[in-house]
Structure 1
Amino acid sequence: MSEELAPLREHIAQACRVLAARGLADGILGHISLRVDPRRLLVRCRGPEERGLAFTADADIRLVDLDGEPGAAGELDGGYAVPNELPLHTEVLRRRPDVEAVVHAHPPSVVAADLAGLAIRPIVGAFDIPGTRLAAGGVPVYPRGVLVRSRTLAAEMVQALGDRPVVLLRGHGLTSAATSVEQAVLQSVSVDVLAALSLRVVAAGGTLVDLPEHDLAELPDLGGAFNTATAWRHEVARLP
């Protein structure tokens, strides 16, 4: 496999472990991809010794094209295969030129909140400013609880996603799209936290109330150096 892509493989593998450490992709489900050029992407593939996202190794990250074929000689050798839901990634990359990275995860709190009829809403303030802003813009739902394993199903999901960064998948999980792997993962974490808080509020007998517009307007943009870079260092530091 090409040595020049080694740092990106390491980065994606680490991000997979972050998802697992956060409980967003328990077991053997979930994957992350990163666009490399107009026709190819790096994606976590299924290996011959699959142990789940928490144990993702650099070698599990393989280069493929938008049709699921090897992106270079040897990339799918050794018993490796693309994930069944590769179209979930490739259709986003085909239809959203602003997106470079895609995360697919199965956070239990997100699934539970959606099934309970609880939308992801801006119910907090400075507790999570990026998450609040994301929720204020709306988090759509793809209403089919299916394995997104064809371009037809993936196109439906992307239509539901629209121009938003995250879409929930009914009875399934979420898809997060961003300009970087870090941002795609951090968006997933924020949505998961908001879903978990919503469930706790309702379980305690409370009512979900959106943050008032005047409070939302007071929330500063702390910048990418803090919102993404510092937050990502924290996530990596939390890994075992």
Structure 2
Amino acid sequence: MTNDQTPSTRTAVLYRMVMEKHSCPWGIRSKYLLERRGYAVEDHWLTTREQTDAFKAEHGVKTTPQTFINGQRIGGFTDLRAYFGLKVRDPGAKSYRPVLAVFATGAGLALAASFAAFGTPFTLRAGEWFVSFTMMLLAMLKLQDVDRFSTMFLGYDLLARRWVPYAFAYPFLEWLTGALMSAHALPWLSIPVGLFIGTVGAVSVFYAVYVQKRDLKCACVGGSGNVPLGFVSLTENLAMMAMAVWMLGRLALMG
């Protein structure tokens, strides 16, 4: 949708909640978007709950903020973005962004730790830390709401579906394994646990996605994201397995 206002007449009327203990973030974003688009904003504050309810009843709307341009009600922040032809986020859309953000953070931490310890970010230790730090970050997301994670995990993990306590234990096992591998501590514990949970996870993901052809959400970020179960999830488990095998081989060479 476009508008034919000239720069001197581009005026928008905005009604938003601005109360003593709450200023609507969508209202703030709407005002910023309008001003960025060159509009002079008539900013009307709804400062009480009664005033807000009266406004919504008058205009037959359920939410605020509400923007009006040329006397036409555009709607809330999402409607305003659509009016300007901007991308509107689909809350149901699947995205790998949460997992990629974790991987990028794990890589950054590993490179920084390697530089601090060895004077260069590019070492074998950095590669090990990348995997182990990422395991801990993923476990941290799961541990924020273990019940929610376990419910999603039970949808595809083969072992958890046969023994439910495994779904609740998994985030703790992943965190512990990542911590021990980061420190090269207790390899007799970290290697078998990492190899076990990584193998079970890889087999479960492969079976669900590539054999059963199921369209599922991955529990890898704790159940809060809309990450599709697939290649990235499989890679996560394969990396855990590879880390365990790498450390086992390293111990064999040292021994």
Same fold, TM-score > 0.5, yes or no: no
TM-score where L is the length of structure 1: 0.28
Greater RCO, CA 8 A, separation 6+: 1
Instruction: Work out which of the two has the higher radius of gyration on C-alpha atoms and give 1 or 2.
Output: 2
Alignment TM-score, normalising by the size of structure 2 = 0.27
Bigger proportion of residues as helix? 2
